[in-house]
Amino acid sequence: MPNLLTWMKRICRIQAKMTQIKSKTQRPIPPELQIWITQKNLSSEEETSFLSRLLYAVYYNEFNTKKPDLWPLLAESIPQNRLQFLIEQLSENERLTLLCECFLDLKEGQWLLLQCLPQPFQKYLKTKYHYVFHLEKVLKENPDISLFEIQKQLDEYAENEVDTIHQLLPELIKRIIDSPVTGYEALEKLKGTQTEENPSAKEAAQQARKHLQSLFRTFTEFSYTPEQLKAFFQIFGLSGYYLNVALTADGNAMSPLKEKLLGIFTLFETPWTIDPEIRPLLIQFIWSLCQKLYAFHHNPDLLLEGLKKITFALPTRGELLPSQSWLPSLLESLTALCQHLHYEISHIPVFIFDQSNKKQRLLNHQFIEILKDRFGASIFHISSDEAIKLAKKLAIEKWIITRNTKEFGFGGARNCAFFLAPVLHQLFLTKETRPTKKDLKKFSNNPS
């Protein structure tokens, strides 16, 4: 859309006047935007809601003017059935392209769009095993490609990534382990033959190498086949790995793991040039990946122990749960991991602290019941009153009710997850039989 930033600023300048304008023809909307809105056949109320969200996004710099995407804002502005109807008017390729954009940018509108887009491909992209940028590339290069061919190309691309990592990871770890000695030898060469060798520096380099050998023992003493790596990455993904340092390869979590490994591999070609503060972070990143691989295939009890220690809690902050991605996406991930660990997902409690009104809380309850049936999960739906009762019993109500209006506020909602959820989680773990919602209520009401 040309001159997007220009007309966005123009809209912002007339924001105060828009509330006084009654006629659609009087609204100074840029032609390109007006055409897009007209094609959607929006009602006056829907159009006003959409433009308001657009102004908000521009004002708070939440809108990418270089690559404008109006669909997520529209999804937040109109009823779900209207959104479903509009998406059904798109071609198959347009729907898949929109699906890509949903996975490339994480906003509430994208989640609403996902409910209306092709489900088979969502399972492909949700685990990050299939790379969304590659799907986007395939669609651009061949707009008429069949769904079967797309799936085939995505599978082949992912398997090639796994094969590359299978070959690259052992070589990278070897470079990391040898880096103290290769660094020492490189510095000795720079000094030349006229300078005597420093025995203490040489010994320090060898000791450092031994330490790294011990550190990576869980990888070097076990061989991982491509099939084993594939099983791991099908759950944990081939992207989504954070590396909080500046690299030759992009440190963004959305970039492929392979690119990060290649970037680190290149850096350790000349390890003596790596910033001393960055070097341990790079080693820790690779070590963490190796530890996960080891636990996944050779010590699943370690993974299970960690899983049991995590407390999963969500304060709704008045939001409608069906419009949020957190709960269903969490349950999908837990299901995949529990299947590998041969562990019942029902043994992992999830706590929802609901601050909404009675009508919305009922809708949230119905959604939770659907998810409980679908996944067999233990989800505890806790109202504001129930949370306050528990907080009073623990004498921490001032950390939960943080507003004069007796509402939680942002801090109170956060503290429900930090202070109340761990207590409920411990109660869940210590009971011989799995506690029910009645047990939690009884615990909150009991003064002792």
3-class secondary structure, 351: strand
pLDDT tens, residue by residue, 186-209:
877 777 655 566 778 889 999 999
pLDDT score recorded for residue 24: 42
Q: Does residue 404 share a domain with residue 311? A: yes
Q: Does residue 267 share a domain with residue 181? A: yes
pLDDT score recorded for residue 232: 94
| The one-letter amino acid at 387 | A
| The one-letter amino acid at 21 | I
Q: Are 421 and 387 in contact (CB under 8 A)?
A: no
The structure tokens listed for 171 are 């070589």
The structure tokens listed for 167 are 């070959």
pLDDT tens, residue by residue, 57-95:
777 777 666 556 788 888 888 888 888 899 888 887 788
pLDDT score recorded for residue 216: 95
Q: Does residue 358 share a domain with residue 400? A: yes
Q: Does residue 273 share a domain with residue 358? A: no
Q: Which residues pair with 351 in a beta bridge?
A: 313, 380
Instruction: Give a yes or no: residue 135 inside a domain.
Output: no
Q: Does residue 97 share a domain with residue 25? A: yes
Q: Does residue 264 share a domain with residue 175? A: yes
pTM for this entry: 0.73
- Residue 19 reports pLDDT greater than 70: no
Q: Tokens 């071609």 sit at which residue?
A: 91
Query: With b meaning 16 or more CB within 10 Å and e meaning fewer, what string describes 150-169?
Result: beebbeebbeebbeebbeeb
Instruction: Give a yes or no: residue 53 inside a domain.
Output: yes
pLDDT score recorded for residue 345: 94
Domain termination residue (choose one: 85, 117, 149): 117
Instruction: Give a yes or no: residue 383 inside a domain.
Output: yes
Q: Does residue 281 share a domain with residue 228? A: yes
Q: Does residue 331 share a domain with residue 215? A: no
pLDDT tens, residue by residue, 218-255:
999 988 999 999 999 988 888 878 775 545 444 455 67
Domain termination residue (choose one: 255, 272, 298): 298
Structurally, the chain folds into a number of domains equal to 3
Q: How buried is residue 1: exposed, middle or buried, by Cβ count under 10 Å (0-12/13-18/19+)? A: middle
Mean pLDDT of the region 350-368:
91
- Residue 141 reports pLDDT greater than 70: yes
Assign 183 a pLDDT band (cuts: 50, 70, 90).
Answer: confident
Assign 32 a pLDDT band (cuts: 50, 70, 90).
Answer: confident
Instruction: Give a yes or no: residue 157 inside a domain.
Output: no
Mean pLDDT of the region 411-420:
89
Instruction: Give a yes or no: residue 248 inside a domain.
Output: yes
Q: Does residue 310 share a domain with residue 249? A: no
pLDDT score recorded for residue 248: 43
Helix axes 300-309, 279-298, angle to 10 degrees: 110
Q: Does residue 181 share a domain with residue 75? A: no
Q: What is the rounded (10 degree) CA torsion for 407, 410, 411, 412? A: 40
Q: Does residue 310 share a domain with residue 178? A: no
Instruction: Give a yes or no: residue 363 inside a domain.
Output: yes
Domain termination residue (choose one: 298, 315, 338): 298
Distance (Å, rounded) from C-alpha 277 to C-alpha 418? 32
342: left (phi over 0), alpha (psi -120 to 50) or beta: left
Instruction: Give a yes or no: residue 125 inside a domain.
Output: no
What is the extent of the structural domain holding 274?
164-298
Q: Does residue 343 share a domain with residue 252? A: no
pLDDT tens, residue by residue, 287-328:
999 999 999 999 999 999 999 999 999 998 777 888 777 888
Instruction: Give a yes or no: residue 241 inside a domain.
Output: yes
Mean pLDDT of the region 154-160:
91
Residue 438: CB atoms within 10 Å: 8
The structure tokens listed for 286 are 């690779």
